[in-house]
Structure 1
Amino acid sequence: MAYPNLTLISALRGAAQQLRNGAPYAWGDHGSCNCGHVLQVVTHLSREEIVRHARTGIGEWTEIAEDYCGVTDAPVTLLVSRLEAIGLTPTDIHCLEYLQDRAVLDRLPGGFRWLQKNVREDVIVYFETFAALLEEQLLPRIDISELERPVPVPA
């Protein structure tokens, strides 16, 4: 499971909002598919820029993530490294593209069901459910006592 953190949670919610607001969606397009929308949020690259970088690799995001090598500096590896930097593993990237993480599916509103990878509404609910699950995992790790300390005010 992905590493719960505010950046990933925000990226998933931002991607869901983009889709809800009518952003172009095409599962077969590297720049406007599931991972493409998350990348748009975290990199601020356009769909076209993501497609240009992704074409330096071979296959879908799931194949690119599995073949990723952190030593090379081909542009597609920069995109995969951004997904990993926000807390996703290659398995998470695969699940994100295919909407298959069982922990996310078990938490869907209304209960478990299989979702379709190329249906905008399914992607939105998956992203939002994934973000909520990560938030639930993150909250117990936050030490609120650190936030309650008075901040020294310069004299």
Structure 2
Amino acid sequence: MAKANPELIAAIEKTITKLSNGASYQWGHMGACNCGNLAQELTQFTKAEIHQFAMQRYGDWNEQILDYCPTSGYPMDLMIAKMLDFGLTLDDLSHLERLSDPEILRTIPKDKRDQLNKNSREDVVLYMKAWAALLRENWLSQQRLEMNLAPEKKLKSAVLV
């Protein structure tokens, strides 16, 4: 699962808003599909640029992810690397394209979860909302843990002085 952080959460939430407000969505278009819409937000590339990068090699997002090489110099690999810099993993991208992360799916009510369609705008929005909520919960838990540990660290350093 992605490393929870405010920048990634905000990017997912902006993508949700854009998709909910009618942003271009087409599952078969590398720049306007599930990953393509998030890539637009994280990288600031347009859907046309993302699609152009992807067409320099073969395959959909999952095939591009399987062939990912951070040192290849291919624009698609550079764009994926930029997305990974936000805390995503290659698995996150693969799951997003297929709406398939088991941890995210567990948070979606069974009746909806069993009906998810990877190429449905509404289902992508539902999945991304669940993902953003899960990341936000993870991030808040991390912050609480760090705040609880902070006084202990100060106490240890004071004892050592």
Name the TM-score, length of structure 2 as normaliser: 0.84
Task: Tell me how far 1:133 sits from its aligned partner.
Answer: 0.2
**What pairs up with 1:19-98 in 2 under 5 angstroms?**
19-98=19-98
Number of corresponding residues: 145
Q: Deviations over 1:1-50 (max 9, x none)?
A: 12111122111111111100001100000000000000111111111111
Residue of structure 2 equivalent to 1:121: 122
Matched-pair identity in %: 38
CA contact (8 A) 1:62 1:90 kept: no
Which is greater in Rg? 2
Q: Deviations over 1:101-144 (max 9, x none)?
A: 01111112x34613111011000010111011011111121245
Whole-angstrom distance in 2 between the partners of 1:62 and 1:125: 21
- Is the partner of 1:3 in helix, strand or coil? coil
CA contact (8 A) 1:25 1:120 kept: yes
* Unmatched segments (≥5 aa) in structure 1: 147-155
Whole-angstrom distance in 1 between the partners of 2:56 and 2:8: 25
Higher helix share: 2
Residue of structure 2 equivalent to 1:150: none
Whole-angstrom distance in 2 between the partners of 1:3 and 1:111: 26
Whole-angstrom distance in 2 between the partners of 1:2 and 1:62: 17
Considering only aligned residues, what root-mean-square deviation do their CA atoms show, in Å? 1.6
Structure 1 letter corresponding to 2:35 = C
Q: Deviations over 1:85-107 (max 9, x none)?
A: 11222211110000000111111
Whole-angstrom distance in 2 between the partners of 1:67 and 1:40: 21
CA contact (8 A) 2:43 2:83 kept: no
